[in-house]
Chain A
Amino acid sequence: MRRLTKGEGVTGWIFTIPYLAFTFVFFILPFLWGFLLIFSEWNLISPVREFVGLGNLIEALQSRRVHAAALVPFKIMAIFLPAVLIMSLGIAVLINSFKKRQGLLAVAFFLPYLASGVSMSLVVKGVVSYTSPVNKTISSIIGYVPDWLGTPSLAILVIALMIAWRFSGYYALIFLSGLQSIPNELYEAAQIDGAGRIKSFFKITIPQLYPALYSVMILAVGLMFGVFTEPYMLTGGGPNLATHTWYLEIYYQAFNTLRAGYASSIALYNAIAVFIVVGIVRRIMQAWGRAHGWED
């Protein structure tokens, strides 16, 4: 351990003051206020704030809108997870198979992540609109134009694929650095044992990618509970609450119906849901990792 330099303690505090001041005003205060809000009914304007105890929390548990919001992450996940895993693994393996120009390819595949959800929603709205060229082609084959955003399952499909498109390049980079840390000897040994490419992909590559898969799974599952822009722009939560996400409901209750306390209660449930589901995914991934010789 080196000696403390003169005034090191003071400098340390000075350097952390901006962070500390921010944390006090925008973390600790809202943190405490948030807990007060959960137990009160307040319309953001009136001077009257009524203490309602567990009223908000009980009401949220019984709300049809909250039930819908609790279900939507799983519906999107059912399409999003397989889609994004296949796409990002495919991109990573493809980039890794190049000897040169890996950086250039990584940059190109990362471009979707830069997209504004708002702009992409406009593009998707245009592409699925009634008179679009895509729909013209489809209707010439199946005989009618599908109502993409007005049919529950199709609306979920559209939103899930939009998010998968946006994140596939990002997750591919996580997989790419995982792929590059797999020792080549493993593949050579498998080749000697007569394993083909496909077999060594599933027997070596996938288990060796455990750290990358673990991060991607947690990021991807967590993401499902914070979807806002796409349904806000495209469906408004419809049809019949089929795409009504947590964030839409929180936003709607807080800033449309102006029920600050009720919205905060729903936010609390959202946090609990993320905590539980991500916890389960972690356990599953860790068990799978242990089965392939990884330590936690």
Chain B
Amino acid sequence: MYRQRLTWTRAVRLADKYGTIGLRWVLALVGICFATAPYLYMTLQSLAPWREVNRRIIPTELTTRSYEWLLQGSATAVARPWLRGFGNSVLVTSISTVSMLVVAMLAGYALSRLRFRGREAIYKFILFQMFYPGIILLVPRFLIVRQLGLYNTYAGMIVPLAVNIWAIFMYVSFFKSINPAMLEAARIDGASEMQVLFRIVLPLSGSITAVIGLFLFMERWVELIWDLIVVQEYPMMTLNVMIATMSGPYASYPGPLYAASVILTIPIILVFLIFSKHFTQGFKFVLK
């Protein structure tokens, strides 16, 4: 009798335990489906026959016609170099991101670990810039870019977004958390500041650089307003802008637009998944 009661309570407890684990997984899977549904929808529609796009969720057959249409540069009145648009996105985003990281590392190191006159003033100014509303600068920045002859050029997209204040701020606070004794030891051994930065500080900054770089990369990759106003000609446009400007008159070509969106989305997801190991480590620091 006693034994039976014991197994009964144990069974209830087990059911309770596995029940909540099962429920958790069900909830998690529903959530993940919800989080990825638009990506799946986009991919399915890009492979659907044109008569079924946006009319069926799961197409009756799969075809690559939308992708072929893009590769042919759109068989319409105005040809659009979609592949080149993708290349433009890669070019603009990678140069901007690398530049934002390098400038931020150098400035972050100087502002946190080197002593020089004016350092405090510069740091205070950085804080001011971080909270200054960028929208007020939009029109005058555009005018300066035009004045410099950078309108409708790659440089016009890259240079004004080549320095990121938030990244400098993040590096300053990260470098401050490095034990100064390590840097001091290297300096006593006769290392120059360059060597201290490259041999000691940067190897410690792997995770934080991955996370900062990831944020900078994805924000630059989907930048709309700046790329939209600086560049006017199709051969110069980023893929994101090309899709945005096409959605009006081309609304009758939803299939190819989904295909272009898939091409736009794949790199960013790949980059994110490659760095996702660092992401979970370094993200906590970024949040602080």
Determine the chain B residues whose CB is within 8 A of the CB of A26 once the complex forms. 137, 141, 144, 159-160, 163
Smallest CB–CB gap between B279 and chain A, Å?
A: 7
**A111 x B39 contact (CB < 8 A):** yes
Which of B41, B109, B115, B287 sits near A4, CB closer than 8 Å? B115
Binds A, one of B27-35, B63-71, B74-82: B27-35
A270:B38 contact, CB within 8 angstroms: no
Complex contacts, A228 vs chain B, CB 8 Å: 224-225
Contact A122 B243 (CB under 8 A): yes
CB-CB contacts below 8 Å: B239-266 with A: 240, 243-244, 247, 254, 257-258, 261, 264-265
Binds A, one of B4-12, B202-210, B268-276: B268-276
B258 to chain A, nearest CB (A): 7
| Most-contacted residue by chain B among A13, A103, A114 (CB, 10 A) | A114
Interchain CB contact under 8 A, A109 and B168: no
The 0/1 profile, CB within 8 Å of B marked 1, for residues 21-60 of chain A is: 0110111011101100100000010000000000000000
List chain B residues, Cβ under 8 A from A15: 106-107, 109-110, 114, 193
**A44-B249 Cα distance, complex, nearest whole Å:** 27
Give the docked Cα–Cα distance between A260 and B147 (Å): 15
* Residues of A close to B257: CB separation below 8 A: 122
Q: Are B163 and A19 in contact (CB under 8 A)?
A: yes
B138 within 8 A of A: yes
A251 proximal to B (CB < 8 A): yes
Q: Known contacts A12-B115, A18-B107, A91-B31: does B135 contact A247 (CB below 8 Å)?
A: yes
A117 touches B (CB below 8 Å): yes
Point out the residues of chain A lying under 8 angstroms from B1, CB to CB.
none
Main secondary structure of the interface of B (DSSP, over half): helix
Consensus secondary structure, chain A interface: helix
Determine the chain B residues whose CB is within 8 A of the CB of A274 once the complex forms.
Answer: 133
* Interfacial chain B residues near A169, Cβ < 8 Å: 35
Closest beta carbon of chain B to A187's beta carbon, Å: 16
A25 to B159 CA separation, bound complex (whole angstroms): 10
B47 at the interface (CB under 8 A from A): no
Contact of A23 among B24, B114, B129, B287 (CB under 8 A): B129
Please pick, from A30, A246, A251, the residue contacting B140 in the complex, using a CB distance under 8 A.
A30
Q: Given known contacts A18-B103, A94-B27, A174-B287, is B54 in contact with A132 (CB within 8 Å)?
A: yes
Bound form: Cα–Cα A263–B54 in Å: 38
In-complex Cβ contact of B38 among A16, A120, A229, A246 (8 A): A120
Query: With A114-B269, A270-B135 known to touch, is A251 a contact of B35 (CB < 8 Å)?
Result: no
Chain A residues with CB under 8 A of B136: 31, 34, 264, 267-268, 271
Asked if B139 and A122 sit within 8 Å, CB to CB, the answer is no
A254, CB-defined interface residue at 8 Å: yes
Q: Which residues of A contact B247 (CB under 8 A)?
A: 118, 121-122, 125, 233
B139 touches A126 (CB 8 A): no
Contacting pair A116 B264 (CB below 8 A): yes
Per the CB 8 Å criterion, the residue count for chain A at the interface is 88
Question: If the complex has contacts A122-B261, A254-B139, A255-B229, are A2 and B184 also in contact, measured as CB distance less than 8 A?
Answer: yes
Answer yes or no: B97 CB below 8 A from chain A CBs: no
Cβ B116 vs Cβ A109 within 8 A: no
Residues 211-229 of B contacting A (Cβ, < 8 Å): 218, 221-222, 224-225, 229
At the interface, yes or no: A127 with Cβ under 8 Å from chain B?
yes
Please give, as numbers and ranges, the residues of chain A lying within 8 Å of B28 by CB-CB distance.
94-95, 98, 105
Closest-by-CB residue of B relative to A262 is B139
Residues of A with C-beta under 8 A to B32: 105, 108-109
The answer to whether B36 touches A29, judged by C-beta atoms less than 8 angstroms apart, is no
* Residue from B110, B194, B269, B280 in contact with A16 in the complex, judged by beta carbons closer than 8 Å: B110
- Any A CB within 8 A of the CB of B176: no
Q: Which of A18, A102, A131, A232 contacts B55 (CB 8 A)?
A: A131
- Are A8 and B115 also in contact (CB < 8 A) when A18-B106, A18-B163, A122-B42 are? yes
Bitwise interface map of A from 236 to 279 toward B, beta carbon under 8 Å scored 1, else 0? 00000000001100110011000010011001101100110000
Q: Which of B115-172 contact A (CB under 8 A)?
A: 115-119, 122, 125, 129, 132-133, 135-144, 159-160, 162-163, 168
Closest Cβ of chain A to B81, distance in Å, is: 18
- Besides A112-B35, A118-B244, A260-B143, 7 other A-B contacts (C-beta < 8 A): A8-B116, A9-B115, A33-B144, A107-B273, A107-B276, A250-B135, A271-B136
List 20 A-B residue pairs with CB atoms under 8 Å apart, sorted by A's residue number: A5-B187, A8-B114, A9-B115, A9-B117, A15-B109, A16-B110, A29-B140, A30-B140, A30-B141, A31-B137, A107-B279, A116-B221, A118-B264, A122-B258, A215-B287, A232-B224, A233-B244, A247-B135, A260-B139, A260-B143
Which residues from chain B sit less than 8 Å from chain A, CB to CB?
Answer: 24, 27-28, 31-32, 34-36, 38-39, 41-42, 45, 53-57, 102-103, 106-107, 109-111, 114-119, 122, 125, 129, 132-133, 135-144, 159-160, 162-163, 168, 180, 184, 187, 193-194, 218, 221-222, 224-225, 229, 240, 243-244, 247, 254, 257-258, 261, 264-265, 268-269, 272-273, 276-277, 279-280, 283-284, 287
Q: Give 5 nearest A-B pairs by CB, closest first.
A: A12-B116, A30-B140, A15-B110, A119-B261, A271-B133
